[in-house]
A and B are shown apart, each in its own frame.
Chain A
Amino acid sequence: MNDLATTVFVVDDELSVRQALVRLLRLARLNVAAFSSAEAFLECYDPGTPGCLVLDLAMPGLNGLELQEALTGRGSSLPIIFLTGHGDLPSGVMAMKRGAVDFLTKPADANDLIETVRGAIEKDRVTRQTRAELTEIQRRFATLTPREHEVLCQVVCGKLNKQIAADLGTTEKTIKVHRARVMEKAKVGSLAELVMLAQRARILPCQPT
């Protein structure tokens, strides 16, 4: 991940607060993009851009919660840090339930904010990385033929080749070939590795019959 592309998005309708935020975050050596409304942000937002969102809760037009909803709807995992004028508890609970990183009350301490922003960026980075790995694993498993997929399920269950062959009504030798193809496609060298990948890719072992 390129550190420069990581962006802190700031959405606040209040010019003075927005400017102060931008200034602060830049001095914290962060890349900042500021918007005066949720709509303006949505127009420019590229979900591929890593980073986080510092969002004012109360705004004319779409408010903070609605923007969060809209982003979730688009499948974005951009971490959101809410800034709000006063402790509006129900809004805060709602925001946290929907996966907000934090909920800061104005006037928030700058150090806390920067800390939170950094944490959020890291979280985003991890999320994005995990998601990329999973995608890779799934891509690998996706190349398996149905027979190979069946064999994989049996292998993950810890069955021996002989048992698998019996279950599938084939020879042990054939199973061996399939198994080697699976290992090759999953780019793993050991059975343990294969089991781990299969688990991350949520490939469930077959039920013993």
Chain B
Amino acid sequence: MSWVAIVWSMTVWACLTLAILHLVIWFKQTRQFAYLLFSVIGASVAAIALCELLALRAQSPEQFGRLVWWAHLPAFSAVVSIVGFVRLYFRAGRLWLGYAACGLRLLDLIMNFFSAPNLNYKEIAGLRHLTVFGGETISVAKGLENPWIKVSELSSLFLLLFVVDASVTLWRRGQRAERRRAVVVGGCVILFILMAAGHPALIEAGLIQSPCLISLSFLAIVGAMGYELSLDVVRAEQLARRLQASETALRESEQNMSLAASAAELAMWTWDVTRDEIWTTDKGRALLGFAKPDKITFEYFLTALHPEDRETVRQSVTNALNGFGEYESEFRVVLPGGQTRWISGRGRVEFDGGKPVRMRGVLFDVTPRKLAEERFRLVVEAAPNAMIMVDAEGKIDLTNAQVESVFGYTRQELVGHPLEILVPERLRDRHSEHRSGYFADPKAHAMVAGRELFGRRKDGSEVPIEISLNPIRTSEAPFALASIVDITERRRAELKAARQRNELAHLSRAALLGELSGSLAHELNQPLSAILFNAQAAQLLLRQDAAHPDELQEILGEIVEENKRAGEVIRRLRALLRKGETQLEPLHINEVVNSVLKLMRSDLVNQHVAVRAELAPDLPVVDGDGIQIQQVLLNLVVNGCDAMAEVEPIERRLLVCTAKLTDGREVSVSVADRGCGIPPDKMERIFEPFFTTKTHGMGLGLAVCRTIISAHGGKLWVTNNAGRGATFQFTLPANARAAE
């Protein structure tokens, strides 16, 4: 086989291989027209090479001429393809140069079509058989050159200019890969054109003795393209490796994410809005209770939800799709088993040109939290007190049924509204101050210290209440949980108890005064006697003739004095017998002691009891009901006297002392007798109602006394004296404001 045949055949096959290869590539990437064009170039060059091979072996001038004529067709397609390829591959080159090259080549083709034997030759006289390297014989035409072949050459020139221009432009862009491409591809194409155009010219000029060898020059392009291709392959391999690396990283991050998601019990989902298809992780399917093969559409997703929640979820999703972009909702899922699960869903919409195309997000199970919330709500609901949870702004967050019954508002009327609507108008300003102060330093405490608290019902009436506050710190914000007790009943009971206590005190007082009636009558009789004696003395005086105006004056003066004194006794008695509410007033305890001793004077005298009063000066004022305190003292003095009934008259001594206690915060009064004392086992029993050591008496005196003193915030107790007898003592808190 001759080497010519081998070389040209190889060229044909190489070009065809490249053409097919790139055609295959183009089929895979139909958008990359450069591959198609390169494929066309390859095919064209293969055709040219085939023509050349046949021409070299031509046996007749007609055959030769015919082959050259045919060669113009692939030459045309080659030029057009090169222009297109360079343009696409370089993205450079002046178009008019390319158009000119293509146009001239088209003209060449048309002219060739009408030429005989072809555009190259006017006529082919004959064939010369040349013997070239290796002893091969090839055929070369002998004939007249066709002048119109200049069109073909002009076309080649424009093509050359176009490629040079494109290569220069590419070079100037300055990137390394592009410069290399400019040099390799541009250079080769230029070389090919120069060779393809120059070689026939040289043959024409008879400078060289060789056949027309266009196709071989194309091998340069094959090499260049091969080189480029290999670079592409290398680059593709690098890209692939990089891709793999990034894919690994991506997979890793995805794994991390899914790990994190599964650790956080998160389920991820994506909703292709346009195709209405929801993809979710296994976790998501499990959460929603979907079997694996189900195709999930939005409507299908909704069927998994509790019927009551469907509308809210749909609304929330619609809002997100309509431009809000974010979706968040909590809903219940009814599982096939019938249990309910609380799910929190969050997502974000991806828009494409303002149109929602996709939504991605997560789902997670919030059932435990919801159960805890539910449990909290149930606990609050079941609480016996009215419970109100308030945020730092004073907005009501949660109430229970008791609140409705205490305040008369329904839940809907309260939740979300300021707490102040439950506070009487007159207290509102102060209340908001208290609230701010509370949130500044939230502590659990009861709001009862020294304050009467009132709530306001829906109908505007006020209700006495007791409040205890507990701070609740959630992750979102601080809250205060107020536990409110309606104390109307307790108030009423307290009032009733107070009234009963007053009643009892009054009864006991009346009984005491009954015991003292002799003494009291005496107190009243003394002034009355004096008045009567004086008045009758005056009558006597007037009956006697002599006028004694001075003496009459004196008598009348005394009558007036004694009358006043009797009036005073009656007033005091009336006060003691008065039945009324406890009235607190500032009291000077020494005055009370003196008043009682005065009232009991004759009784003490009758019983031969000598009283000594040791009254401390500068005692603080106490708050108390004067009558009730007098009653207590009367009781103690009477008891003291009774205790000494069996004692020798000379020993019957009673000591009444007043004193300041605990730095003046308390005042104490003690009554010490010299009787037989109190047996230790009866020390406390004597204060019990209906317990008495006396043969007469109801046994109420001391019980009532203790009640009275307790109601005043004091204490009453008894101790036996070191010598003989007992000392009863009581304390009363001093009035800090009116201290003197």
- What residues of chain A have their CB less than 8 Å away from a CB belonging to chain B? 13-14, 16-17, 19-21, 23-24, 27-28, 58-60, 63, 83, 85-86, 88, 105-111, 113
- Residues of A near B229 (CB, < 8 A) are none
Q: Which residue of B lies closest to A19 (CB)?
A: B558
13 further A-B pairs in the complex, CB-CB below 8 A; given A86-B522, A107-B533, A110-B537 = A17-B530, A17-B533, A20-B530, A20-B534, A23-B555, A58-B606, A60-B605, A60-B610, A105-B525, A106-B525, A108-B529, A108-B532, A110-B533
Inter-chain contacts of B551 with A (CB < 8 A): 23
Give CA–CA (A108, B526) in the complex, Å: 11
| Docked-complex contact B526 and A28, CB < 8 angstroms | no
Q: Which 6 A-B pairs have the closest CB atoms?
A: A110-B536, A85-B522, A20-B533, A106-B529, A107-B529, A16-B530
From A24, A58, A86, contact of B536 by CB (8 A): A24
Complex partner residue of A16 from B521, B526, B539, B602, CB under 8 angstroms: B526
Query: Which A residues are in CB contact (< 8 Å) with B605?
Result: 13, 58-60, 63
Asked whether, in the complex, the Cβ of B540 is within 8 Å of the Cβ of A16, the reply is no
- Residues of chain B within 8 A (CB-CB) of A107 are 525, 528-529, 531-533
**Most chain A Cβ neighbours within 10 Å, of B526, B541, B558:** B526
Q: Is B695 an interface residue (CB 8 A)?
A: no
Nearest-CB residue, chain A, relative to B603: A58
Question: In the complex, what residues of B have CB within 8 A of residue A27's CB?
Answer: 537, 540-541, 544
A111, B518: Cβ atoms closer than 8 Å = no
Which residues from chain B contact A28 at a C-beta distance below 8 Å? Answer: 540
Given A19-B558, A86-B518, do A14 and B526 touch, yes or no (CB 8 Å)?
yes
Q: Is the CB of A106 within 8 A of B534?
A: no
Question: How far apart are B368's CB and chain A's nearest CB, in angstroms?
Answer: 87
Q: Which residues does chain A contribute within 8 Å of B602, judged by CB atoms?
A: 58, 85
Q: Within the complex, what minimum Cβ distance (angstroms) separates A120 from chain B?
A: 17
Count A/B pairs, Cβ under 8 Å: 84
User: Would you list 28 pairs from A and B whose C-beta atoms are within 8 A, ordered by A residue?
Assistant: A16-B527, A16-B562, A16-B565, A17-B529, A17-B533, A19-B530, A19-B558, A20-B533, A21-B533, A23-B534, A23-B555, A27-B537, A27-B540, A27-B544, A28-B540, A58-B602, A59-B605, A63-B605, A63-B606, A85-B518, A85-B521, A85-B602, A88-B518, A105-B525, A106-B525, A107-B528, A110-B533, A110-B537
- A20 CA / B536 CA spacing, docked (Å): 10
Cα separation A136 to B526 with both chains bound (whole Å):
46
Given contacts A23-B555, A60-B605, contact A85 B525 (CB under 8 A): yes
B532 adjacent to A23 (CB under 8 Å): no
Report whether B522 and A23 are in contact in the complex, using a CB–CB cutoff of 8 Å: no
A86 pairs with B525, CB closer than 8 A: yes
B526 in contact with A111 (CB, 8 Å):
no
Interface centre among A27, A28, A63, A88 (most CB of B within 10 A): A27
Q: Which of A16, A17, A83 is close to B561, meaning CB atoms less than 8 Å apart?
A: A16
Given A23-B555, A63-B606, residue A109 in contact with residue B526 (CB < 8 A): no
Q: Complex: how many Å from CA A60 to CA B540?
A: 32
Chain B proximity of A65: nearest CB distance (Å): 11
A83 proximity list for chain B (CB < 8 A)? 529
B522 touches A58 (CB 8 A): yes
**Residue with the greatest number of chain A CB neighbours at <10 A, chosen from B522, B533, B610:** B533
